Structures are given as C-alpha cells and as structure tokens.
Amino acid sequence: MHSPSFHRWMTCGLLSVLAGCSGLSGERSTVTAQPAPRLSAESAAPLPARWWQLYRDPQLDALVARALRQNKDLEAAAAHVDALLARLEQADGERLPSTSLDYGLAYGRSRDDQTLAQATHGHAGAEWSHTPEFSLSYTLDLWGEVRYRIAAARADAHVARALEDELRVTVAAQTTRAYAQACVYGLQAQVQAHSVQVLEQSVAVTQKLQKAGAATDLDLSRLQGLLEETRAPLALFSARRRSALYELAVLSGLPPEQVTPHHCSQGLQLQAPLPVGEGWALVQRRPDIRRAEGQLRAATSRVGLSRAELYPRITFGAMLGSSASSLGKLGDRYATVYSVGPLVSWRFPNRQIAQAQVKQSQAEARQALATFDGTVLNALKQVEQAMALYQGEQQRRQALAAALDNNRRAFDLASRGYHAGALDALQLLDSERSLVGLEARVAESDLRVINRQIDLFQALGGGWQRDDQTAPLPIVAGAKP
C-alpha cells in the first residue's frame, strides 16, 4: 500500500529529526521501517488540509466545519493560546528599560524640619510637601537570562498551539466517524430488513408446500427460527444509528434531526485515490510532534535560564526627583535630587540552590528529549499500523464481496432446485443462512473500512489547518544553552 518514496522520506525525515532537532548531546536514535505492498487506491500526493472533503459529501463538510467552530474544548484551548501569547509579550517587554513616574503630596512636618528646629532651638511648622520622582532601571542581559525567558515563553506558546491543533484533528475525526457510523448503521438496517423480507417470502412458500404435503413441520420451524434470528439485529442497528446521531449532534451543536445524513445511499466512499504524502511532511504536520518539539525547546531554554542564575545580575538605575515644599520650587536647583549608578546582586557564596536548579532543568531537558524521540517513533508506528490495517480490511472487504456474489448465485440455484424438488429444505436453509450472514458481514466490513480510513487520516495528522492561518512563531535566534 505504501509507495517507495513515502517510506524513503518517512525514514530519512524521522531519523534526521531524532538525531539533530535537539540541542542536547546523546546517542542518535534509529528508525527502520519495512515497506508494505502498494494499493491501487493510494496516491503520493500530499494529504489535503481538509481530508474529509475527499468523500465529497456537502453535508459532512458543513458538519465538520461547524464542529470546529462550536467545540468548547477548542474554544478553551484557543483561550489558553492567547494567554501564553500575552505571557510572551510580557517576557519580551523585559528587554526594554523599566520606568516609573511617581508624585506624592503630603501636609505635615518632616524629620529634617524637626532636626533643624532642634538645632536652632526654633519651632518646626507644618507645611505642604511635594515629592515628584522619575526612575529608570535597565538590567544588562549579560548571561542571556532575558533571551532564554523569551525563548521559553515562545516555545510554551508553540506547545499550546500544537495542543489546540491536536484537538482540531480529534474533533474532525470524531465528527467524520459519527457521520459515517450513522450512514453505515442505516445501510446495515436496510440490508438486514431485505434479508428479513426474503426469509418471510421463503416462510410463506414453505407454509404453502406444507399444506400441500411437500414440506414438513421441521422445515417450517427451521426457516421461522432463521427468520427471527435475522430480525433480531434490526433494533440494535437502529439504536446504534441513533447513538451516532446524538454524538454528531453534540459535536456540531445541532438537533439530531438536523444532522441526519441525506446522501448515504452507498455509504461514505473516497472519490479520489487516498493521498499519503511523504515522511518529512508527516513530521511537520502532526501536532503531537510539534508539541513535543516545543516542549523540548522550552526545556533547553530553561537550562540556560537556570545557568544565568549562577552569575551576578547587574542593573543600571537612574532617579530624578525634587524635595520642593511648594509647586513653585519644583524646578529650583536646590530642591532637585538625583542618583545614577549600577546595582549588583549575586547569590554568593551560597549557590547551592542555583546549582540544584541547573541540575533539575538539565534532567527535565533530557526527559523532554526522550519524550520527543518517543513521540516521533510512535507517530511512525501509528502511520504504519494504520496503513497495514486499512490495507488488510480493504482486501477482506473485496474477498467478502466476491463471496457474497457467489452465495447469491448459489442461493438462486438452491431456490430453483428446491422448487423443482431436486433439493431438500435443509439445503435451501443452509444456502439462505450463508447468504444472510455474508450480507451482514459485508455491511460490517464497510464500516470497518471507513473507520480504518479515518484512523489513517488521523495518524497522518490532517485536519488541524485553519481558515485564518496564524503566522508561525519564530524561535528567538541565539537562545541556546
């Protein structure tokens, strides 16, 4: 089922990501994949952004689009992304100088007035005082603390956006799956109802033959038992269809009667060859891989952030104020006060806390690297398994369809032979039982094929793209511990 180019790009792309994406040292991981047979319904074209449109069902397209707009989990995830983007803006603001403007007004006597009155043996009267002050401070980013904090905040925003994309993939897959189940369960009920109708006709014919003495009570009882056995799943198919419609209604935010499929006479079928694209596109497309990559970038940035705590922090500050007692004296040179100079703060000589934080961040970075490697390997496994299972189910469906055609011919021959007296009722019953069972298995296989298709689309990471594409967040250059 897999094209050679897909496996070549998949293996090379994932190997390169595992070996060179992180900034940490360690042994290179290896990935090996065995090529599987190619199916005729496969295309090397890239997976489209909205893979459910390959079914060319307008109602399904509208339901998925509505589900992506109405889902509350997606709304909460989008709000979380906005919160982290605001935190990124806050971290980015630390690169600029910090300024403050203060103005105080008070009435009374100051300590200086009291001291002067004591020295001159005079009296210190109460008066208004004005204390305007403008201050400026700027932390010199000598050790990259601000750069690492910005890089970590940016990576956290990437992680939140990837989580939102994962939810979009899940919601699109759930909506398509519920719609497909509603279709197939309705078709299964129709197939089962047709089988019931055929058996009712056989029972009616057998009752006439019994009255004529050409059939026994045993023949009639066997047919009636098969009839009730075939009728039994009808209620279950109806219940499963209603359950799928309720799920579809919750996902899309519409009443169940408005989500009932109207174009499901043949069930959902791909109207174009199944596109799989190439391995490198898979790595860039899957949200869980981008999430793990963002977590790794954030962890490595925090290593540099914790290392910066080992060195002194130098802050340059300046202050300009006035000690005037009235508004008219604010600009007086004798009332003007100012200060300019650096401030050095350093956790020394006790640096045990800072060193422990460095060890902790390094361990968390190694954990993030292992998680990233595992995520990439798991992505490859999921795609390979989904393709293999889809191929197997498709071949099974083809074999069941061929068997169903043969059983239909056999049942037709058995019916003619039975009415001509060449075959007994037991042989006809066996033929009918086989036909009814195969029709049910083919209908069940239709649902399995669609589910395998959706599993494959989900494993390939399709469905997270938005109509309003958000510009990607670039990683700050030079923020490497």
Residue 338: give its domain's CATH number: 2.20.200.10
The 10 Å Cβ neighbour count of residue 374 is 13
More confidently predicted of 71 and 127: 71
In a domain, 327, yes or no: yes
More confidently predicted of 51 and 464: 51
Do 349 and 177 form a contact (C-beta atoms < 8 A)? no
Q: What is the pLDDT of residue 33?
A: 34
Q: How many residues does the chain have?
A: 481
Q: What is the mean pLDDT of residues 429-454?
A: 86
pLDDT at position 100 over 70: yes
Sheet containing 98-108: order of strands: 98-108, 127-139, 313-322, 336-345
Q: What is the mean pLDDT of residues 415-429?
A: 77
- Shared-domain flag, residues 331 and 435: no
Q: Which residues contact 423 (CB under 8 A, 6 or more apart)?
A: 414, 417
The 10 Å Cβ neighbour count of residue 380 is 22
Q: How far apart are CA 87 and CA 14, in angstroms?
A: 32
pLDDT at position 7 over 60: no
In a domain, 70, yes or no: yes
pLDDT digits (tens, 9 = 90+) for 359-403: 999 999 999 999 999 998 998 888 889 889 999 999 999 999 999
Q: What is the pLDDT of residue 183?
A: 87
Q: What is the pLDDT of residue 14?
A: 43
pLDDT at position 279 over 70: no
Report the domain count for the chain. 2
- Shared-domain flag, residues 135 and 190: no
Q: How far apart are CA 157 and CA 178, in angstroms?
A: 32
- Shared-domain flag, residues 146 and 168: yes
In a domain, 243, yes or no: yes
In a domain, 4, yes or no: no
pLDDT at position 478 over 50: no
What is the separation of C-alpha 164 from the centre of its chain, rounded to a whole number of angstroms? 6
- Shared-domain flag, residues 77 and 213: yes
Helices (H), 107-253: 111-120, 145-211, 217-231, 233-252
In a domain, 228, yes or no: yes
Q: What is the pLDDT of residue 43?
A: 62
More confidently predicted of 279 and 476: 279
Q: What is the pLDDT of residue 481?
A: 39
The conformational region for residue 26 under phi > 0 = left, psi -120 to 50 = alpha, else beta, is left
In a domain, 23, yes or no: no
Q: What is the pLDDT of residue 466?
A: 61
- Shared-domain flag, residues 90 and 104: no
Q: Name the average pLDDT for the chain.
A: 80
349 confidence band (pLDDT: 50, 70, 90): low
Q: How far apart are CA 221 and CA 207, in angstroms?
A: 10
Q: What is the pLDDT of residue 265?
A: 65
Q: What is the pLDDT of residue 4?
A: 45
Token duo for residue 32: 């090996």
Q: Any idea which residue has 């049942």 for tokens? A: 411
- Bond preceding residue 349 cis, omega within 30 of 0: yes
Q: Which residues contact 325 (CB under 8 A, 6 or more apart)?
A: 127, 128, 129, 130, 335
- Shared-domain flag, residues 285 and 362: yes
Residue 211 burial (C-beta neighbours within 10 Å; 0-12, 13-18, 19+)? exposed
- pTM of this prediction? 0.74
Token duo for residue 383: 């795609």
pLDDT at position 78 over 50: yes
- Shared-domain flag, residues 148 and 239: yes
Do 462 and 169 form a contact (C-beta atoms < 8 A)? yes
pLDDT digits (tens, 9 = 90+) for 217-267: 887 888 888 889 889 989 998 899 999 999 988 888 888 778 887 766 667
- Shared-domain flag, residues 226 and 359: yes
Buried-exposed string 212-223: b where 16+ CB fall within 10 A, e elsewhere: eeebeeebbebb
Q: What is the pLDDT of residue 37?
A: 36
Strands 42-43 and 274-275: parallel
- In 3D space, the residue among 243, 247, 248, 237 whose CA is nearest the CA of residue 57 turns out to be 248
Q: How far apart are CA 10 and CA 19, in angstroms?
A: 14
More confidently predicted of 386 and 43: 386
Token duo for residue 403: 């068997």
Q: What is the pLDDT of residue 280?
A: 62
In a domain, 478, yes or no: no
Q: What is the pLDDT of residue 479?
A: 41
Helices (H), 311-469: 352-419, 425-459
- In 3D space, the residue among 30, 33, 41 whose CA is nearest the CA of residue 393 turns out to be 41
Q: What is the pLDDT of residue 6?
A: 44
Q: What is the mean pLDDT of residues 91-97?
A: 89
- Shared-domain flag, residues 452 and 370: yes
In a domain, 281, yes or no: yes
In a 3-state reduction of DSSP, which class is residue 271?
coil
Q: Which residues contact 101 (CB under 8 A, 6 or more apart)?
A: 133, 134
- Shared-domain flag, residues 277 and 337: no
- Shared-domain flag, residues 102 and 174: no
pLDDT digits (tens, 9 = 90+) for 8-38: 444 444 444 444 444 444 333 333 333 333 3
The phi and psi torsions of 135 (rounded to 5 degrees) equal -125, 150
Q: Which structural domain, as residue segments, surrounds residue 275?
A: 49-94+142-310+352-458
Do 316 and 137 form a contact (C-beta atoms < 8 A)? yes
Tell how many helices (H) and how many strands (E) occur in the chain: 11, 6
Q: What is the mean pLDDT of residues 146-158?
A: 93
Handedness of CA 102, 106, 111, 112 (dihedral sign): positive
The 10 Å Cβ neighbour count of residue 305 is 23
Q: What is the pLDDT of residue 44?
A: 64
Q: Which residues contact 140 (CB under 8 A, 6 or more apart)?
A: 314, 315, 316
CATH of the domain at 198: 1.20.1600.10
- Shared-domain flag, residues 452 and 408: yes
Q: What is the pLDDT of residue 17?
A: 42
pLDDT digits (tens, 9 = 90+) for 195-213: 888 888 888 888 887 888 7
Token duo for residue 373: 């490697």
Instruction: Count the helix, strand and coil residues of the chain and give each as a percent rounded to the nearest 5.
Output: 65, 10, 25
